Amino acid sequence: MDTSQTRLHLCGPWAGESNEVRTSADNPQSSREIVRNGGQVNPVQRLLPSLAATAIFLSGCGTALPPSGEWEGQGVEPSPFLSVGTVTLVDKDTATAVVRLFHGHTQLSQPLYSRTPQLDFTAQLRPTGLRTGRSVGVVIRRGSPSPGEEVVVQPAP
């Protein structure tokens, strides 16, 4: 088996390592083999695939498309209402309901409103003095709320 060996001279952090390139005429599928430190892989070589993948991933971030035109639609105004909870129970015979508050420390001194997911108002509610943890009893003043609807309050200016 005729194998020729060539000594490589590297600079930088690998300058002191023993680096050889072996070429084999008998094996055409792998014509070169780099032998370093008894066959161990250099730590930089282990990181190269992940560094290449990171570079490819990050290079896509800088290729944002320019705007194709001006926005001609109207902007959406923010809602003046603050979501405080959901309707959990409704008793239409006594015109009362139970509202589960998102936060237990919510102060309710203003009228509450229930609304659907499409933001259509369904009822006006007035808090009573009955409160257990985050559940509050309310009186239905107008409309007909349904369980699961959002309860909102209009914050004081």
CATH of the domain at 122: 2.40.10.170
Are 90 and 30 contained in the same domain? no
- Asked whether residue 60 is assigned to any structural domain, the reply reads no
Same domain flag for 40 and 93:
no
- Which of these, 124, 129, 96, 98, lies nearest to 111 by C-alpha position? 124
Alpha carbons 2 and 59: distance in angstroms, whole number? 46
Same-domain check for residues 45 and 90:
no
Q: Note whether 37 and 89 are same-domain residues.
A: no
Does any domain span residue 133?
yes
| The two three-digit tokens of residue 76, written as one number | 């959406």
Residue 45 resides in a domain: yes
Q: What is the mean pLDDT of residues 18-45?
A: 51
| Residues 90 and 43 reside in one and the same domain | no
Domain assignment present for residue 149? The answer is yes
Instruction: Verify that 44 and 100 share a domain, yes or no.
Output: no
Contact assessment for residue 154 and residue 80, using Cβ atoms and an 8 Å cutoff: yes
- Per-residue model confidence (pLDDT) at position 71: 65
Q: Evaluate whether residue 92 is within a structural domain.
A: yes
pLDDT of residue 66: 62
Does the pLDDT value for residue 121 go beyond 90?
yes
Cβ-proximal residues to 64 (8 Å cutoff; 6+ apart), any chain? none
Q: Are residues 45 and 92 in the same domain?
A: no
- Look at the pTM and tell me if it is higher than 0.95: no
Residue 58 in any domain: the answer is: no
Both 25 and 88 in a single domain?
no
Is 11 a domain residue? yes
What is the per-residue pLDDT for 89?
95
Highest mean pLDDT among 2-6, 105-109, 115-119: 115-119
- Estimate to the nearest angstrom the gap between the alpha carbon of 20 and the chain centroid: 49
Q: Is residue 62 part of a domain?
A: no
Q: What is the pLDDT of residues 36-55, one digit of tens each?
A: 445 556 666 777 777 777 77
Indicate if 86 and 41 belong to the same structural domain: no
Q: What is the extent of the structural domain holding 40? A: 3-49
**What's the structural domain count of the chain?**
2
